[in-house]
Structure 1
Amino acid sequence: MMTVKQVSLLTGVSIRSLQFYDEIGLLKPTQTTAAGYRLYDDAALEKLQQILFFKELEFTLKEIKTIMSEPAFDKAAAFAKQRELLELKRDRLSAMLGLLDKLIKGEACMDFKTFDMREYYRILDDFKRTHTEAITTRLGSMERFDEMVRELQGNENEIAEMAEKQFGSLSGYTNAMEKNLAAFLENGPSVSPADAEGLSRKTDELTQRLTALQDRDENAAEVRSAVGELIEFVNACNGDMEMGENYWPFMAELYLSNPAFIQATDQKYGAGASRFIGRAIRAYLGG
Protein backbone atom coordinates (compact mmCIF):
# COMPACT_ATOMS: atom_id res chain seq x y z
CA MET A 1 0.00 0.00 0.00
CA MET A 2 1.11 3.55 -0.71
CA THR A 3 0.09 6.73 1.07
CA VAL A 4 -1.39 9.67 -0.85
CA LYS A 5 1.95 11.50 -0.51
CA GLN A 6 3.85 8.53 -1.95
CA VAL A 7 1.40 8.26 -4.86
CA SER A 8 1.80 11.98 -5.51
CA LEU A 9 5.60 11.71 -5.60
CA LEU A 10 5.44 8.65 -7.87
CA THR A 11 2.93 10.01 -10.38
CA GLY A 12 3.34 13.77 -10.25
CA VAL A 13 -0.35 14.17 -9.42
CA SER A 14 -0.80 16.65 -6.58
CA ILE A 15 -2.13 15.51 -3.22
CA ARG A 16 -5.04 17.93 -3.60
CA SER A 17 -5.92 16.41 -6.99
CA LEU A 18 -5.89 12.89 -5.51
CA GLN A 19 -8.13 14.09 -2.69
CA PHE A 20 -10.46 15.69 -5.24
CA TYR A 21 -10.58 12.48 -7.30
CA ASP A 22 -11.70 10.72 -4.12
CA GLU A 23 -14.33 13.38 -3.38
CA ILE A 24 -15.95 13.09 -6.82
CA GLY A 25 -15.77 9.30 -6.87
CA LEU A 26 -13.29 9.10 -9.75
CA LEU A 27 -10.52 7.34 -7.83
CA LYS A 28 -11.31 6.07 -4.36
CA PRO A 29 -8.43 4.95 -2.12
CA THR A 30 -8.19 1.22 -1.54
CA GLN A 31 -8.37 1.80 2.17
CA THR A 32 -8.75 4.67 4.61
CA THR A 33 -7.10 4.27 8.00
CA ALA A 34 -8.77 5.05 11.31
CA ALA A 35 -6.75 8.27 11.33
CA GLY A 36 -8.20 9.22 7.93
CA TYR A 37 -5.11 8.50 5.80
CA ARG A 38 -5.77 7.34 2.24
CA LEU A 39 -3.93 4.20 1.07
CA TYR A 40 -3.64 2.93 -2.51
CA ASP A 41 -2.80 -0.55 -3.83
CA ASP A 42 -1.52 -1.58 -7.28
CA ALA A 43 -5.05 -1.80 -8.72
CA ALA A 44 -5.74 1.80 -7.69
CA LEU A 45 -2.45 2.91 -9.26
CA GLU A 46 -3.38 1.13 -12.47
CA LYS A 47 -6.71 2.97 -12.49
CA LEU A 48 -4.91 6.27 -11.89
CA GLN A 49 -2.65 5.51 -14.84
CA GLN A 50 -5.74 5.01 -17.02
CA ILE A 51 -7.16 8.33 -15.78
CA LEU A 52 -3.93 10.14 -16.65
CA PHE A 53 -3.99 8.77 -20.19
CA PHE A 54 -7.55 10.07 -20.62
CA LYS A 55 -6.50 13.46 -19.22
CA GLU A 56 -3.60 13.63 -21.67
CA LEU A 57 -6.18 13.17 -24.43
CA GLU A 58 -8.12 16.14 -22.99
CA PHE A 59 -11.13 14.25 -21.62
CA THR A 60 -12.83 16.04 -18.73
CA LEU A 61 -12.93 14.39 -15.31
CA LYS A 62 -16.70 14.01 -15.69
CA GLU A 63 -16.23 12.21 -19.02
CA ILE A 64 -13.50 9.98 -17.59
CA LYS A 65 -15.68 8.99 -14.65
CA THR A 66 -18.59 8.17 -16.95
CA ILE A 67 -16.42 6.06 -19.26
CA MET A 68 -14.63 4.14 -16.53
CA SER A 69 -17.77 3.45 -14.50
CA GLU A 70 -19.48 1.73 -17.44
CA PRO A 71 -20.09 -1.95 -16.61
CA ALA A 72 -18.75 -2.90 -20.04
CA PHE A 73 -15.56 -0.83 -19.68
CA ASP A 74 -12.69 -2.80 -21.20
CA LYS A 75 -9.28 -1.71 -19.88
CA ALA A 76 -7.31 -3.42 -22.64
CA ALA A 77 -9.49 -1.94 -25.38
CA ALA A 78 -9.25 1.48 -23.74
CA PHE A 79 -5.45 1.29 -23.63
CA ALA A 80 -5.37 0.31 -27.30
CA LYS A 81 -7.63 3.22 -28.24
CA GLN A 82 -5.62 5.63 -26.09
CA ARG A 83 -2.44 4.49 -27.82
CA GLU A 84 -3.99 5.14 -31.22
CA LEU A 85 -5.13 8.63 -30.20
CA LEU A 86 -1.77 9.47 -28.61
CA GLU A 87 -0.03 8.45 -31.84
CA LEU A 88 -2.27 10.84 -33.74
CA LYS A 89 -1.51 13.54 -31.19
CA ARG A 90 2.22 12.84 -31.50
CA ASP A 91 2.04 13.11 -35.29
CA ARG A 92 0.11 16.36 -35.03
CA LEU A 93 2.61 17.81 -32.55
CA SER A 94 5.52 16.76 -34.78
CA ALA A 95 3.90 18.59 -37.69
CA MET A 96 3.34 21.66 -35.52
CA LEU A 97 6.97 21.59 -34.36
CA GLY A 98 8.01 21.50 -38.02
CA LEU A 99 5.79 24.51 -38.68
CA LEU A 100 7.31 26.38 -35.72
CA ASP A 101 10.82 25.63 -37.03
CA LYS A 102 9.85 27.33 -40.31
CA LEU A 103 8.36 30.31 -38.49
CA ILE A 104 11.47 30.67 -36.30
CA LYS A 105 13.54 30.85 -39.48
CA GLY A 106 11.32 33.69 -40.64
CA GLU A 107 9.45 31.72 -43.30
CA ALA A 108 5.87 32.87 -43.97
CA CYS A 109 3.66 29.84 -43.42
CA MET A 110 -0.06 30.20 -42.77
CA ASP A 111 -1.01 26.59 -43.45
CA PHE A 112 -3.65 25.51 -40.95
CA LYS A 113 -3.61 22.01 -42.42
CA THR A 114 -0.82 21.42 -39.90
CA PHE A 115 -3.68 21.15 -37.39
CA ASP A 116 -4.45 17.69 -38.69
CA MET A 117 -8.06 16.80 -39.49
CA ARG A 118 -7.42 13.11 -40.13
CA GLU A 119 -8.80 11.91 -36.81
CA TYR A 120 -12.01 13.88 -37.34
CA TYR A 121 -12.50 12.34 -40.80
CA ARG A 122 -11.75 8.89 -39.41
CA ILE A 123 -14.50 9.34 -36.82
CA LEU A 124 -16.93 10.46 -39.53
CA ASP A 125 -16.02 7.41 -41.59
CA ASP A 126 -16.59 5.15 -38.56
CA PHE A 127 -20.01 6.70 -38.06
CA LYS A 128 -20.85 6.16 -41.71
CA ARG A 129 -20.04 2.45 -41.45
CA THR A 130 -21.72 1.81 -38.10
CA HIS A 131 -24.74 4.16 -38.19
CA THR A 132 -26.02 3.71 -41.75
CA GLU A 133 -29.67 3.39 -40.76
CA ALA A 134 -29.59 6.36 -38.36
CA ILE A 135 -27.83 8.57 -40.91
CA THR A 136 -30.38 7.70 -43.59
CA THR A 137 -33.24 8.36 -41.17
CA ARG A 138 -31.92 11.74 -39.98
CA LEU A 139 -30.35 13.08 -43.18
CA GLY A 140 -32.48 11.38 -45.80
CA SER A 141 -29.67 9.59 -47.60
CA MET A 142 -26.02 8.55 -47.33
CA GLU A 143 -25.33 10.93 -50.22
CA ARG A 144 -26.27 13.87 -47.96
CA PHE A 145 -23.77 12.66 -45.35
CA ASP A 146 -21.04 12.36 -48.02
CA GLU A 147 -21.91 15.86 -49.21
CA MET A 148 -21.52 17.16 -45.65
CA VAL A 149 -18.04 15.58 -45.40
CA ARG A 150 -17.00 17.09 -48.75
CA GLU A 151 -18.11 20.51 -47.50
CA LEU A 152 -15.94 20.04 -44.41
CA GLN A 153 -12.95 19.02 -46.53
CA GLY A 154 -13.43 22.12 -48.65
CA ASN A 155 -13.18 24.31 -45.56
CA GLU A 156 -10.39 22.52 -43.70
CA ASN A 157 -8.31 25.58 -42.93
CA GLU A 158 -11.27 27.56 -41.59
CA ILE A 159 -12.43 24.63 -39.44
CA ALA A 160 -8.94 24.04 -38.03
CA GLU A 161 -8.58 27.70 -37.14
CA MET A 162 -12.06 27.78 -35.55
CA ALA A 163 -11.36 24.57 -33.61
CA GLU A 164 -8.19 25.99 -32.08
CA LYS A 165 -9.95 29.17 -31.02
CA GLN A 166 -13.30 27.77 -29.90
CA PHE A 167 -12.29 24.42 -28.40
CA GLY A 168 -8.66 25.08 -27.47
CA SER A 169 -7.39 22.25 -29.67
CA LEU A 170 -8.36 20.20 -32.69
CA SER A 171 -8.57 17.07 -30.53
CA GLY A 172 -11.01 18.88 -28.23
CA TYR A 173 -13.08 19.82 -31.27
CA THR A 174 -12.96 16.25 -32.57
CA ASN A 175 -14.15 14.82 -29.24
CA ALA A 176 -16.99 17.35 -29.06
CA MET A 177 -18.14 16.76 -32.64
CA GLU A 178 -18.09 13.00 -32.10
CA LYS A 179 -20.45 13.39 -29.14
CA ASN A 180 -22.64 15.88 -30.98
CA LEU A 181 -22.95 13.64 -34.01
CA ALA A 182 -23.82 10.63 -31.86
CA ALA A 183 -26.48 12.66 -30.03
CA PHE A 184 -27.90 13.92 -33.32
CA LEU A 185 -28.15 10.45 -34.81
CA GLU A 186 -29.76 9.08 -31.67
CA ASN A 187 -32.13 11.90 -30.80
CA GLY A 188 -32.35 14.08 -33.89
CA PRO A 189 -31.88 17.86 -33.85
CA SER A 190 -31.83 19.45 -30.39
CA VAL A 191 -34.46 21.88 -31.70
CA SER A 192 -37.40 20.71 -33.79
CA PRO A 193 -38.15 22.52 -37.07
CA ALA A 194 -41.45 23.63 -35.56
CA ASP A 195 -39.63 25.38 -32.70
CA ALA A 196 -36.68 26.71 -34.69
CA GLU A 197 -38.53 29.71 -36.11
CA GLY A 198 -39.71 30.83 -32.68
CA LEU A 199 -36.26 30.44 -31.14
CA SER A 200 -34.69 32.38 -34.00
CA ARG A 201 -37.24 35.14 -33.51
CA LYS A 202 -36.50 35.25 -29.78
CA THR A 203 -32.74 35.44 -30.43
CA ASP A 204 -33.36 38.29 -32.83
CA GLU A 205 -35.46 40.12 -30.23
CA LEU A 206 -32.75 39.75 -27.58
CA THR A 207 -30.08 40.95 -30.01
CA GLN A 208 -32.21 43.98 -30.93
CA ARG A 209 -32.68 44.74 -27.25
CA LEU A 210 -28.90 44.65 -26.79
CA THR A 211 -28.05 46.78 -29.84
CA ALA A 212 -30.63 49.37 -28.79
CA LEU A 213 -28.17 50.17 -25.97
CA GLN A 214 -25.29 51.17 -28.25
CA ASP A 215 -25.16 54.63 -26.70
CA ARG A 216 -24.28 53.09 -23.32
CA ASP A 217 -20.93 51.89 -22.05
CA GLU A 218 -20.50 48.12 -22.53
CA ASN A 219 -19.92 47.76 -18.78
CA ALA A 220 -23.23 49.45 -17.91
CA ALA A 221 -25.57 47.29 -15.83
CA GLU A 222 -28.35 47.30 -18.43
CA VAL A 223 -25.91 46.24 -21.17
CA ARG A 224 -24.49 43.43 -19.04
CA SER A 225 -28.03 42.30 -18.25
CA ALA A 226 -28.97 42.23 -21.95
CA VAL A 227 -25.81 40.30 -22.85
CA GLY A 228 -26.38 37.82 -20.03
CA GLU A 229 -29.95 37.18 -21.17
CA LEU A 230 -28.80 36.62 -24.77
CA ILE A 231 -25.99 34.26 -23.76
CA GLU A 232 -28.23 32.31 -21.38
CA PHE A 233 -30.90 31.89 -24.06
CA VAL A 234 -28.47 30.77 -26.79
CA ASN A 235 -26.81 28.31 -24.39
CA ALA A 236 -30.23 26.87 -23.55
CA CYS A 237 -31.05 26.53 -27.26
CA ASN A 238 -27.83 24.58 -27.80
CA GLY A 239 -28.98 22.10 -25.16
CA ASP A 240 -26.47 19.30 -24.63
CA MET A 241 -24.48 20.15 -27.75
CA GLU A 242 -20.77 20.65 -27.08
CA MET A 243 -19.93 24.20 -28.17
CA GLY A 244 -16.45 24.52 -26.67
CA GLU A 245 -15.33 26.41 -23.58
CA ASN A 246 -14.19 29.32 -25.75
CA TYR A 247 -17.41 29.59 -27.75
CA TRP A 248 -18.39 33.04 -26.50
CA PRO A 249 -14.88 34.57 -26.63
CA PHE A 250 -14.71 33.24 -30.18
CA MET A 251 -18.10 34.79 -31.00
CA ALA A 252 -16.92 38.11 -29.57
CA GLU A 253 -13.88 37.96 -31.86
CA LEU A 254 -16.12 37.32 -34.88
CA TYR A 255 -18.30 40.33 -34.03
CA LEU A 256 -15.19 42.49 -33.65
CA SER A 257 -12.94 41.42 -36.51
CA ASN A 258 -14.60 39.18 -39.12
CA PRO A 259 -15.54 41.40 -42.11
CA ALA A 260 -18.37 39.18 -43.36
CA PHE A 261 -19.78 38.81 -39.85
CA ILE A 262 -19.56 42.56 -39.22
CA GLN A 263 -21.26 43.41 -42.52
CA ALA A 264 -24.14 40.98 -41.97
CA THR A 265 -24.70 42.09 -38.37
CA ASP A 266 -24.53 45.81 -39.13
CA GLN A 267 -26.87 45.39 -42.07
CA LYS A 268 -29.45 43.75 -39.81
CA TYR A 269 -29.04 45.76 -36.58
CA GLY A 270 -27.50 49.06 -37.70
CA ALA A 271 -24.06 50.56 -38.22
CA GLY A 272 -21.63 49.73 -35.43
CA ALA A 273 -23.87 46.99 -33.99
CA SER A 274 -21.41 44.15 -34.58
CA ARG A 275 -18.47 45.74 -32.80
CA PHE A 276 -20.73 46.90 -29.96
CA ILE A 277 -21.98 43.32 -29.45
CA GLY A 278 -18.38 42.05 -29.51
CA ARG A 279 -17.23 44.59 -26.93
CA ALA A 280 -20.29 43.93 -24.77
CA ILE A 281 -19.69 40.16 -24.78
CA ARG A 282 -16.02 40.66 -23.90
CA ALA A 283 -16.94 43.00 -21.04
CA TYR A 284 -19.54 40.51 -19.76
CA LEU A 285 -16.98 37.68 -19.86
CA GLY A 286 -14.52 39.83 -17.96
CA GLY A 287 -12.16 40.35 -20.84
Structure 2
Amino acid sequence: MMTVNEVSRLTGVSIRALHYYDQIGLLPATGHTDSGYRLYDDTALEHLQQILLFRELEFSLKDIQRILSNSAFDREKALKQQIELLKLKRQHIEDLIALAEKTQTTGGTIMDFTAFDTQKIKDYAAQAKQQWGATPEYKEFEQKTALKTEKEVSAMGGQLMEIIAAFGKMQSMDPAAPAVQAQVKKLQDFISEHYYTCSKTILGQLGQLYTAGGAFTQNINAAGGPGTAEFASKAIEVYCRTAK
Protein backbone atom coordinates (compact mmCIF):
# COMPACT_ATOMS: atom_id res chain seq x y z
CA MET A 1 0.00 0.00 0.00
CA MET A 2 1.22 3.48 -0.83
CA THR A 3 0.26 6.80 0.72
CA VAL A 4 -1.13 9.62 -1.39
CA ASN A 5 2.23 11.42 -1.08
CA GLU A 6 4.10 8.37 -2.37
CA VAL A 7 1.69 7.93 -5.27
CA SER A 8 2.08 11.60 -6.14
CA ARG A 9 5.87 11.33 -6.19
CA LEU A 10 5.78 8.10 -8.20
CA THR A 11 3.33 9.27 -10.86
CA GLY A 12 3.78 13.03 -10.97
CA VAL A 13 0.05 13.49 -10.31
CA SER A 14 -0.51 16.22 -7.76
CA ILE A 15 -1.98 15.36 -4.36
CA ARG A 16 -4.79 17.78 -5.10
CA ALA A 17 -5.66 15.89 -8.32
CA LEU A 18 -5.61 12.55 -6.51
CA HIS A 19 -7.97 13.95 -3.89
CA TYR A 20 -10.26 15.21 -6.65
CA TYR A 21 -10.24 11.84 -8.44
CA ASP A 22 -11.26 10.25 -5.13
CA GLN A 23 -14.05 12.77 -4.52
CA ILE A 24 -15.68 12.21 -7.92
CA GLY A 25 -15.38 8.42 -7.72
CA LEU A 26 -12.87 8.14 -10.55
CA LEU A 27 -10.09 6.77 -8.34
CA PRO A 28 -11.22 6.11 -4.77
CA ALA A 29 -8.50 5.36 -2.25
CA THR A 30 -8.18 1.67 -1.37
CA GLY A 31 -8.14 2.50 2.34
CA HIS A 32 -7.01 5.00 4.93
CA THR A 33 -4.40 5.15 7.66
CA ASP A 34 -5.41 5.55 11.30
CA SER A 35 -4.80 9.27 10.78
CA GLY A 36 -7.19 9.37 7.82
CA TYR A 37 -4.61 9.61 5.03
CA ARG A 38 -5.47 7.90 1.75
CA LEU A 39 -3.80 4.60 0.79
CA TYR A 40 -3.57 2.98 -2.65
CA ASP A 41 -2.85 -0.65 -3.58
CA ASP A 42 -1.53 -2.12 -6.85
CA THR A 43 -5.03 -2.38 -8.35
CA ALA A 44 -5.61 1.32 -7.73
CA LEU A 45 -2.24 2.17 -9.31
CA GLU A 46 -3.16 0.08 -12.35
CA HIS A 47 -6.43 2.00 -12.56
CA LEU A 48 -4.54 5.29 -12.26
CA GLN A 49 -2.26 4.23 -15.11
CA GLN A 50 -5.32 3.75 -17.32
CA ILE A 51 -6.58 7.20 -16.35
CA LEU A 52 -3.22 8.81 -17.11
CA LEU A 53 -2.97 7.10 -20.50
CA PHE A 54 -6.37 8.45 -21.45
CA ARG A 55 -5.44 11.89 -20.10
CA GLU A 56 -2.22 11.83 -22.13
CA LEU A 57 -4.42 11.27 -25.18
CA GLU A 58 -6.47 14.33 -24.17
CA PHE A 59 -9.62 12.48 -23.12
CA SER A 60 -11.72 14.50 -20.67
CA LEU A 61 -12.35 13.20 -17.16
CA LYS A 62 -15.99 12.86 -18.18
CA ASP A 63 -15.06 10.53 -21.05
CA ILE A 64 -12.58 8.58 -18.93
CA GLN A 65 -15.13 8.01 -16.17
CA ARG A 66 -17.70 6.87 -18.71
CA ILE A 67 -15.27 4.49 -20.42
CA LEU A 68 -13.87 2.91 -17.27
CA SER A 69 -17.34 2.40 -15.75
CA ASN A 70 -18.76 0.90 -18.95
CA SER A 71 -19.82 -2.71 -18.39
CA ALA A 72 -18.27 -3.54 -21.77
CA PHE A 73 -14.89 -2.03 -20.89
CA ASP A 74 -12.07 -4.26 -22.12
CA ARG A 75 -8.64 -3.29 -20.77
CA GLU A 76 -6.75 -5.05 -23.58
CA LYS A 77 -8.86 -3.38 -26.23
CA ALA A 78 -8.36 -0.01 -24.57
CA LEU A 79 -4.59 -0.53 -24.45
CA LYS A 80 -4.52 -1.34 -28.17
CA GLN A 81 -6.40 1.87 -28.88
CA GLN A 82 -4.08 3.85 -26.61
CA ILE A 83 -0.99 2.37 -28.29
CA GLU A 84 -2.33 3.25 -31.73
CA LEU A 85 -3.10 6.82 -30.64
CA LEU A 86 0.36 7.20 -29.10
CA LYS A 87 1.93 5.96 -32.33
CA LEU A 88 -0.05 8.55 -34.28
CA LYS A 89 1.11 11.26 -31.85
CA ARG A 90 4.71 10.04 -32.17
CA GLN A 91 4.49 10.22 -35.96
CA HIS A 92 3.04 13.73 -35.67
CA ILE A 93 5.95 14.85 -33.47
CA GLU A 94 8.50 13.23 -35.79
CA ASP A 95 6.96 15.06 -38.76
CA LEU A 96 7.21 18.36 -36.89
CA ILE A 97 10.85 17.69 -35.98
CA ALA A 98 11.66 16.81 -39.62
CA LEU A 99 10.00 20.04 -40.79
CA ALA A 100 11.91 22.12 -38.23
CA GLU A 101 15.24 20.49 -39.16
CA LYS A 102 14.57 21.00 -42.86
CA THR A 103 13.75 24.66 -42.23
CA GLN A 104 16.96 25.03 -40.20
CA THR A 105 19.04 23.37 -42.93
CA THR A 106 17.66 25.47 -45.79
CA GLY A 107 17.68 28.64 -43.75
CA GLY A 108 14.36 29.69 -45.20
CA THR A 109 10.63 29.24 -44.85
CA ILE A 110 9.13 26.03 -46.17
CA MET A 111 5.54 26.42 -47.31
CA ASP A 112 4.46 22.97 -46.14
CA PHE A 113 1.89 22.78 -43.39
CA THR A 114 0.98 19.09 -43.61
CA ALA A 115 3.07 18.34 -40.50
CA PHE A 116 0.65 20.45 -38.46
CA ASP A 117 -2.39 18.39 -39.47
CA THR A 118 -3.72 16.44 -36.47
CA GLN A 119 -7.00 15.35 -38.06
CA LYS A 120 -5.99 11.69 -38.18
CA ILE A 121 -5.36 11.71 -34.44
CA LYS A 122 -8.68 13.46 -33.78
CA ASP A 123 -10.57 11.02 -35.99
CA TYR A 124 -9.09 7.96 -34.28
CA ALA A 125 -9.72 9.37 -30.80
CA ALA A 126 -13.33 10.16 -31.74
CA GLN A 127 -13.76 6.63 -33.08
CA ALA A 128 -12.36 5.14 -29.87
CA LYS A 129 -14.73 7.23 -27.73
CA GLN A 130 -17.66 6.28 -29.95
CA GLN A 131 -16.95 2.57 -29.49
CA TRP A 132 -17.40 2.93 -25.74
CA GLY A 133 -20.54 5.01 -26.02
CA ALA A 134 -22.50 3.79 -29.02
CA THR A 135 -25.73 3.06 -27.13
CA PRO A 136 -29.09 4.85 -26.91
CA GLU A 137 -28.46 5.33 -23.19
CA TYR A 138 -25.20 7.14 -23.82
CA LYS A 139 -26.79 9.36 -26.44
CA GLU A 140 -29.46 10.29 -23.89
CA PHE A 141 -26.73 10.93 -21.32
CA GLU A 142 -24.93 13.25 -23.76
CA GLN A 143 -28.13 15.20 -24.34
CA LYS A 144 -28.74 15.61 -20.61
CA THR A 145 -25.18 16.73 -19.91
CA ALA A 146 -24.59 18.83 -23.03
CA LEU A 147 -24.84 22.12 -21.12
CA LYS A 148 -23.13 20.91 -17.95
CA THR A 149 -19.49 21.62 -17.16
CA GLU A 150 -17.01 18.82 -16.50
CA LYS A 151 -17.07 19.78 -12.82
CA GLU A 152 -20.87 19.54 -12.70
CA VAL A 153 -20.83 16.12 -14.36
CA SER A 154 -18.14 14.93 -11.94
CA ALA A 155 -20.18 16.22 -8.98
CA MET A 156 -23.17 14.32 -10.35
CA GLY A 157 -21.05 11.18 -10.39
CA GLY A 158 -20.14 11.83 -6.77
CA GLN A 159 -23.83 12.10 -5.84
CA LEU A 160 -24.53 8.82 -7.59
CA MET A 161 -21.74 7.13 -5.68
CA GLU A 162 -23.16 8.48 -2.40
CA ILE A 163 -26.51 6.85 -3.18
CA ILE A 164 -24.82 3.52 -3.91
CA ALA A 165 -22.51 3.82 -0.89
CA ALA A 166 -25.56 4.22 1.38
CA PHE A 167 -26.24 0.50 0.89
CA GLY A 168 -23.15 -0.13 2.99
CA LYS A 169 -24.94 0.98 6.14
CA MET A 170 -27.92 -1.26 5.37
CA GLN A 171 -26.07 -4.56 5.23
CA SER A 172 -27.56 -5.76 8.53
CA MET A 173 -31.00 -5.60 6.90
CA ASP A 174 -32.72 -7.98 4.52
CA PRO A 175 -32.17 -6.90 0.87
CA ALA A 176 -35.96 -7.08 0.48
CA ALA A 177 -36.63 -4.75 3.43
CA PRO A 178 -38.75 -1.69 2.49
CA ALA A 179 -35.97 0.78 3.39
CA VAL A 180 -33.46 -1.06 1.22
CA GLN A 181 -35.87 -1.33 -1.69
CA ALA A 182 -36.65 2.39 -1.33
CA GLN A 183 -32.93 3.06 -1.72
CA VAL A 184 -32.88 1.02 -4.93
CA LYS A 185 -35.81 3.09 -6.22
CA LYS A 186 -33.90 6.24 -5.29
CA LEU A 187 -30.91 4.96 -7.29
CA GLN A 188 -33.07 4.14 -10.30
CA ASP A 189 -34.79 7.54 -10.22
CA PHE A 190 -31.48 9.40 -9.92
CA ILE A 191 -30.02 7.59 -12.93
CA SER A 192 -33.17 8.22 -14.98
CA GLU A 193 -33.20 11.91 -14.09
CA HIS A 194 -29.51 12.69 -14.57
CA TYR A 195 -28.13 10.04 -16.93
CA TYR A 196 -30.55 7.96 -19.01
CA THR A 197 -33.85 6.12 -18.70
CA CYS A 198 -33.04 3.36 -16.24
CA SER A 199 -35.38 0.46 -16.96
CA LYS A 200 -35.44 -2.59 -14.72
CA THR A 201 -33.40 -4.42 -17.36
CA ILE A 202 -30.67 -1.79 -17.33
CA LEU A 203 -30.81 -1.53 -13.54
CA GLY A 204 -30.35 -5.28 -13.30
CA GLN A 205 -27.33 -5.09 -15.59
CA LEU A 206 -25.86 -2.35 -13.42
CA GLY A 207 -26.38 -4.53 -10.35
CA GLN A 208 -24.41 -7.32 -12.00
CA LEU A 209 -21.71 -4.83 -12.96
CA TYR A 210 -21.32 -3.79 -9.33
CA THR A 211 -20.06 -7.29 -8.45
CA ALA A 212 -18.09 -7.95 -11.62
CA GLY A 213 -14.84 -7.16 -9.84
CA GLY A 214 -12.17 -4.72 -10.90
CA ALA A 215 -12.12 -0.98 -10.34
CA PHE A 216 -15.88 -0.46 -10.29
CA THR A 217 -16.52 -2.97 -7.50
CA GLN A 218 -13.51 -1.62 -5.63
CA ASN A 219 -14.76 1.96 -5.94
CA ILE A 220 -18.15 1.07 -4.45
CA ASN A 221 -16.67 -0.90 -1.56
CA ALA A 222 -14.18 1.89 -0.91
CA ALA A 223 -17.02 4.40 -0.68
CA GLY A 224 -19.53 2.34 1.30
CA GLY A 225 -17.33 -0.18 3.09
CA PRO A 226 -16.55 -3.87 2.43
CA GLY A 227 -19.47 -5.79 1.00
CA THR A 228 -21.40 -2.74 -0.20
CA ALA A 229 -21.24 -3.66 -3.90
CA GLU A 230 -22.42 -7.21 -3.22
CA PHE A 231 -25.30 -6.09 -0.98
CA ALA A 232 -26.41 -3.40 -3.44
CA SER A 233 -26.39 -6.00 -6.22
CA LYS A 234 -28.61 -8.34 -4.18
CA ALA A 235 -31.01 -5.51 -3.33
CA ILE A 236 -31.24 -4.54 -7.01
CA GLU A 237 -31.87 -8.16 -7.98
CA VAL A 238 -34.80 -8.33 -5.55
CA TYR A 239 -36.16 -4.99 -6.80
CA CYS A 240 -36.02 -6.00 -10.46
CA ARG A 241 -37.71 -9.31 -9.67
CA THR A 242 -40.53 -7.95 -7.51
CA ALA A 243 -41.10 -4.25 -8.29
CA LYS A 244 -44.09 -3.42 -10.45
What is the TM-score when the length of structure 1 is the normalising length?
A: 0.42
**Which is greater in Rg?**
1
More relative contact order in 1 or in 2 (CA 8 Å, sep 6+)?
Answer: 2
